[in-house]
Amino acid sequence: MDHDELRPAALPTLAQRTSLRILHLFGWRVRFKPLPGPHGVAVVYPHTSNWDFFVGLLAKWAVGLPFRWLGKEALFKGPMGVMMRRWGGMPVERGAATGATERLADTMRAADWCWIALAPEGTRSYRPYWRSGFYHLALAARVPLLIVYIDYPNKLLSVVDTLDLSGDQQRDMAAIAAVYQGHHGLHPELEAPIVLAPSTRRPASPARG
């Protein structure tokens, strides 16, 4: 057993213990260790199935931290949208010219505690690259990156590995890929390669305070 694997008996609230027991019922384990600070970006990969949402939501409740997560706008329409927001969801703002990344970074920094999770593939279907929003948000907010994987072959969800981005995209993406090596989604053939879209692969530097 990993020293940071969650066990129901060690969790302080009934809601956490219940969430973890449900995951255990389906064979899932959750690894977790304390986060490096009160602000950060969590990147969740692979995302190849609708089941990822439910596994991830139960894991969020099990660790007992109010992670926010970004989702497409269509998820937040109608009565279901109210529930999604209660579960921590935030609709993605479309359009690079709107300054959404900077506003989100400001929101994060202004909060006492704010970790935002997102799936860089942006879809359950195959695409040949990752969207770069997570990367630019972490740099703009000057926060660490939490590398979360949902490993279906091993029924393991890990909330352990963190990385301080350097702004060197090639080096940072190689470090991210190293963590994900050997961990696969429900449909491995749909996993996007761990590279940013070609149009975004340009030199970058962390924002300076």
pLDDT tens-digit readout, 63-78:
999 999 887 776 677 7
pLDDT of residue 3: 56
Q: Return d(Cα 145, Cα 135) in angstroms, integer.
A: 8
pLDDT of residue 100: 81
Residue 208 has pLDDT above 50, yes or no: no
Q: Which residue has the tokens 């139960």?
A: 58
Angstrom distances, CA of residue 40 to CA of 5, 50, 111, 112, 145 = 22, 25, 11, 12, 6
Buried b (16+ CB within 10 A) or exposed e, 141-162: bbbbbbbbbbbbeeebbbbbbb
Q: Is 84 helix (H, G, I), strand (E, B) or coil?
A: helix
Q: Among 111, 88, 133, which residue's Cα sits nearest to residue 38?
A: 111
Mean pLDDT of 91-98: 60
Residue 176 has pLDDT above 50, yes or no: yes
Residue 84 confidence class, pLDDT cut points 50, 70, 90: confident
pLDDT tens-digit readout, 27-49:
999 999 999 999 999 999 999 99
Rounded to two decimals, the pTM is 0.84
Q: Among 184, 191, 192, which residue's Cα sits nearest to residue 154?
A: 184
pLDDT of residue 93: 63
Residue 123 confidence class, pLDDT cut points 50, 70, 90: confident
Q: Among 114, 129, 127, 121, which residue's Cα sits nearest to residue 150?
A: 121
Mean pLDDT of 1-10: 80
**Is residue 198 exposed (0-12), middle (13-18) or buried (19+ Cβ within 10 Å)?**
exposed
β-pair type (145-151, 156-163): antiparallel
Residue 205 has pLDDT above 70, yes or no: no
Residue 10 confidence class, pLDDT cut points 50, 70, 90: very high
Q: Return d(Cα 173, Cα 178) in angstroms, integer.
A: 9
Range of weakest confidence among 2-16, 141-155, 182-196:
2-16
Residue 19 has pLDDT above 60, yes or no: yes
Mean pLDDT of 100-122: 90
Domain ranges of the chain: 8-200
